[in-house]
Structure 1
Amino acid sequence: MIIGLPKEIKLQEYRVALIPAGCGMLVKQGHQVVVQAGAGEGSGFSNEEYADAGAKLVDSAAEVWAAAEMIVKVKEPLQEEFAYFKEGMVLFTYLHLAAAQQLAVALVEKRVTGIAYETIQLPNGSLPLLTPMSEVAGRMSVQEGAKYLEAFFGGRGVLLGGVPGVPPAEVVIIGGGIVGTNAAKMALGLGAEVVVLEKNAERMRYLDDVFQGRLRTLSSNPYNIANAVRKADLLIGAVLVPGARAPRLVSEEMVKTMKKGAVIVDVAVDQGGSIETIDRATTHEHPTYEKHGVIHYAVANMPGAVPRTSTLALTNATIDYVLQLASRGFSDAVANNAPLALGVNSHAGAITHASVAQAVGLPYTELRSLLG
């Protein structure tokens, strides 16, 4: 198979979907890897390293897309990349189609097989290709939140951990999954008071055990959310429904009750956001805006700020799936790998993930019916 690795074009996105070691593994198995020059530089991987691994270097993205049978990326294609789509192409990347109807329509119209990292799901319900980036984003949410609490950035001027004689900041995390757990770990490490709202009782017991009672857990319901939001210095949205739009759990009225200069970081922004006042995604260049006196941080590719760490963590998780798709071909790979099959969001001109279909308003077609 010919695998293509284009350079990411999303603003300030420095990650890359395949490192030279991964290229070498593919080449060793008899595949061809076509890499756009400069694709890995943002993560510290040179053109020479890719060439030494056996990849073919080309100058333009157009050459990569034209040559490849499978494209591996990090972020969803932007509109200027839709022109490169071709029938039968396999696109393996984060797609986040629930918040990207235009992309979903383009994949269907061009009959592209779109496999989304974020909906590959193991039998235990875990999301192996979302987990490493959720770990990064969860940790970064506290790091960024602490920064924007500084008065220089319009925040309350509160130090997350306080000092002797001065109380620490109150960090409220909505969602106790991978993002929420990693956010709690960072916030507790900095000395903050931490509250996690979670609807799953078993998960709350797990968090209580793991953190040995150092954080408080609350059942996630409108009453508890409203009370916790009102007290928060830093509010972190850490809610995810695989393939679906994030539920809006924090209303604009709740945000209006927050302290002036409090900070909101919504990690779910690329799935539509779980906080009503997060009405648009921001960028690393312009990461925040103020609404109702509250600083909103809504960067949709948070792990892109630490590309070396993020790229290595992501490719550790993706490479086995890339190897399976390349060696077995799409149909055989998904027929023999149920978690991978759950990652297929579009195929043969249809949306093949029920939650995505509902979110974008397109008909749902079961993948098995298209594979024969």
Structure 2
Amino acid sequence: MIVGTVREIKNHEYRVGLTPESVTELVAHGHDVLAETGVGDGIGSGDDAYRAAGATIVATAAEIFARAEMIVKVKEPQPAERAMLREGQILYTYLHLAPDPEQTRDLIASKAVCIAYETVTDASGGLPLLKPMSQVAGRLSIQAGATALEKAHGGRGVLLGGVPGVLPAKVAIIGGGVVGFNAAQMAAGMGADVTILDRSPEVLERLGIYFEARAKTRFSNRANLAAAVAEADLVIGGVLIPGAAAPKLVTADMLKTMKKGAVLVDVAIDQGGCFETSRATTHAEPTYIIDGIVHYCVANMPGAVARTSTYALNNVTLPHALRIADLGWKAALARDPHLLAGLNVCNGHVTYEAVARDLDLPYVPAADMIR
């Protein structure tokens, strides 16, 4: 199979779909890899590293889209990239379609085979291709929130861990999953006063056992959530419904109860955000202020630490890429129901139920595409 990887064109996105090491594996399996010139610059891997791995360096993304049977990316294709997709071509990347009707319409029109990292599952019901980026984003959310709390960035001027004789910042983390757990690790490690909210008693018990006195847990009902948000200096939104739009848990009215200069970091922004006042921002302009509350809603947070993120991502995406290339997409998906769960759009149909429901589009089961 001819596999292509292109430079990401989203604002300040430096991650790469395939590292030189991943190229080596694909070439060893007998596949041809096309890499756009400069594709690895953001992770410190120049064209020579890709050549040494066996890739053919190509001058433009357009040539790769024209020649490759499978495109391996990181972020959702931008409008110019979607226009280059063709019928039957495999697109393997993050998509986050539920809050993005325009992208979804374009992918339907392309009749490409679109496999989304974020909905591929595993035997335990987890999301293994999303997990490493959730780990990175959870940890980054505390770094970003701590910076946004600084007075020069519009925040309250509060040091997350405090100092002797001065109380630390209060951090409320909504959601005790991968993002929330990693955010809590960072915040507790920095000495903040941490509260984690979740609706699952099992999750709360597990977090309580792990953190002991270093973080508090609280059941996430409306009253507890409102109280935690009002008390917090920093709120992390880490709620995920696989493939679907995130629920709007923090309302615009709640902002009026918060301390001026408090910070909201919406890690769920890829799926539309879990704060009612969230709108996607970029690394170039990461924050905005509403009612005196600083909002950080960067939609590709892990891109800020591109090298770490790229290698963590390739560790989990490459095995599936190899199977797709080795067997063809139909056979690979037929053999692996967890990979089949990643099929979001195929041959002009929406094949992921939550996306179809949220966007009010016709749904065709993914299994129908491999018969």
* Smaller-chain TM-score bracket: over 0.9
Give the partner amino acid of 1:15: R
Give, in whole Å, the separation in 2 of the partners of 1:44 and 1:361. 43
Any idea what the Cα deviations from partners look like across 1:259-304, whole Å, max 9, x if unmatched? 00001100001100000111x2111010000000011001000000
Give, in whole Å, the separation in 2 of the partners of 1:123 and 1:23. 27
User: Is residue 29 of structure 2 the alignment partner of residue 29 of structure 1?
Assistant: yes
Query: Which ranges of 4 or more aligned residues in structure 1 deviate by more than 6 Å?
Result: none
Give the partner amino acid of 2:306: P
Q: 1:350 is matched with which residue?
A: 349
Once the two structures are TM-superposed, the CA of residue 122 in structure 1 deviates from its matched residue by 1.2
SS in 2 for 1:98: coil
User: Is residue 328 of structure 2 the alignment partner of residue 334 of structure 1?
Assistant: no
Q: 2:219 is matched with which residue?
A: 219
Give, in whole Å, the separation in 2 of the partners of 1:89 and 1:77. 13
Q: TM-score, normalized by length of structure 2?
A: 0.99
Give the partner amino acid of 2:280: A
Structure 1 segment 195-274 matched on structure 2, within 5 A: 195-274=195-274
Give, in whole Å, the separation in 1 of the partners of 2:165 and 2:240. 38
Give, in whole Å, the separation in 1 of the partners of 2:234 and 2:320. 37
Give, in whole Å, the separation in 2 of the partners of 1:275 and 1:60. 39
Give, in whole Å, the separation in 1 of the partners of 2:229 and 2:219. 14
Question: Higher mean Cα deviation, 353-362 or 232-241?
Answer: 353-362
Give, in whole Å, the separation in 2 of the partners of 1:11 and 1:81. 14
Give, in whole Å, the separation in 2 of the partners of 1:303 and 1:78. 18
Once the two structures are TM-superposed, the CA of residue 102 in structure 1 deviates from its matched residue by 1.0
SS in 2 for 1:133: helix
Provide structure 2 residue ranges, at least 5 long, that are not aligned to the other structure.
Answer: none
Give, in whole Å, the separation in 2 of the partners of 1:342 and 1:334. 9
Give, in whole Å, the separation in 1 of the partners of 2:174 and 2:58. 45
Once the two structures are TM-superposed, the CA of residue 212 in structure 1 deviates from its matched residue by 1.9
Give, in whole Å, the separation in 2 of the partners of 1:293 and 1:329. 53
Q: 1:295 is matched with which residue?
A: 294
Give, in whole Å, the separation in 2 of the partners of 1:301 and 1:291. 21
Percent of pairs identical after alignment? 52
SS in 2 for 1:84: coil
Q: 2:367 is matched with which residue?
A: 368
Q: 1:97 is matched with which residue?
A: 97
Give, in whole Å, the separation in 1 of the partners of 2:257 and 2:230. 5
Give the partner amino acid of 2:292: G
Whether contact under 8 Å (2:340, 2:367) holds in the other structure is: no
Once the two structures are TM-superposed, the CA of residue 370 in structure 1 deviates from its matched residue by 2.3
Over aligned residues, Cα RMSD in angstroms? 0.7
User: Is residue 329 of structure 2 the alignment partner of residue 324 of structure 1?
Assistant: no
Q: 2:15 is matched with which residue?
A: 15
